Each structure stands twice: as structure tokens, then as C-alpha cells.
């Protein structure tokens, strides 16, 4: 059974940093791209970015709203994807979901999400 478990969320002050983790199980993690999607309280879904599998270079792409501030990485030996968030803004407050990204086309599995609150 495919499982994605996010961790690392919490309350952080504006301008500070936070790193989220996504621990995967039930599939060969290294064979898949992984994406992060967020949802602000009471709002819709927003794609944040993704990381390709090593077979496709392990490179990353980001939404314009987070480019230059957020970095996605992966450790295939541990089946973990990371989302490093720097220079956080109040508008980054959201539940952050880790997703398995199938061929850059769709998100077939989602984690339960972790809440990040950016507030002073």
C-alpha cells in the first residue's frame, strides 16, 4: 500500500525557514517524481513544485510564487522528499501536501498534509 507521510509543519515567524519531510513507503520511491501542493485555510489547491526522479536528472521546477525561496530535494536511500522553505511570508500559511507525481501529468497519491502557519 502506497503511503506518504508529511512532517515538520508548525508555527514559524515571517522571514524564518522551515523544512518539511515526506516519508514514502509501498513503492519504489526512486522511480517517481514527487510534487508538493498546498492549500491555504478555506482556499483551493496550489501546486508548489516538483522534483524529477534521478532517471530524469532529479531536477526541480517551481511555481512562480515560491521560486527562489523554496527548494525541493530528495533522498532516495531513505525514500524521503523534502521541501525547504526560506524567507517565509504570512501568505505561505497552508496545509502542505506531498504527492506522487505520475509523469508530470497527475498526482495519484497524496499524504495527509502538514500545517504550516507563518505568523508573528
Partner 1 sequence: QSALTQPRSVSGSPGQSVTISCTGTSSDVGGYNYVSWYQQHPGKAPKLMIYDVSKRPSGVPDRFSGSKSGNTASLTISGLQAEDEADYYCCSYAGSYTRVFGGGTKLTVL
List of residues contacting partner 1 (CB under 8 A): 35, 37, 44-47, 50, 61, 63-64, 97, 102, 104-113
CA nearest to 45, candidates 88, 1, 96 = 96
Grid cell, residue 113, equals 498534509
Q: How far is the CB of 1 from partner 1 (least distance, A)?
A: 13
Provide the minimum distance between the beta carbon of 80 and partner 1 in the complex, in angstroms, as a whole number.
18
Quote the least distance from Cβ 56 to partner 1, whole Å.
11
**Bridge partners of residue 38, in order along the sequence:** 46, 96
- Specify the residue, 37 or 85, whose C-beta has the smaller distance to partner 1: 37
Of the candidates 101, 117, 107, 110, the one whose C-alpha atom is nearest the C-alpha of residue 9 is: 117
Amino acid at each position: 500500500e502506497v503511503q506518504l507521510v508529511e512532517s515538520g509543519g508548525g508555527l514559524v515567524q515571517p522571514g524564518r525557514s522551515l523544512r518539511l519531510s515526506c516519508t514514502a513507503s509501498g513503492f519504489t520511491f526512486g522511480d517517481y517524481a514527487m510534487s508538493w501542493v498546498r492549500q491555504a485555510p478555506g482556499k483551493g489547491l496550489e501546486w508548489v513544485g516538483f522534483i524529477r526522479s534521478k532517471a530524469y536528472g532529479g531536477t526541480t521546477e517551481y511555481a512562480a510564487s515560491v521560486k527562489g525561496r523554496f527548494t525541493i530535494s530528495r533522498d532516495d536511500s531513505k525514500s524521503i522528499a523534502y521541501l525547504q522553505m526560506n524567507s517565509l511570508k504570512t501568505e505561505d500559511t497552508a496545509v502542505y501536501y506531498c504527492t506522487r507525481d505520475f509523469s508530470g501529468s497527475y498526482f495519484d497519491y497524496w499524504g495527509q498534509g502538514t500545517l504550516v502557519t507563518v505568523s508573528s
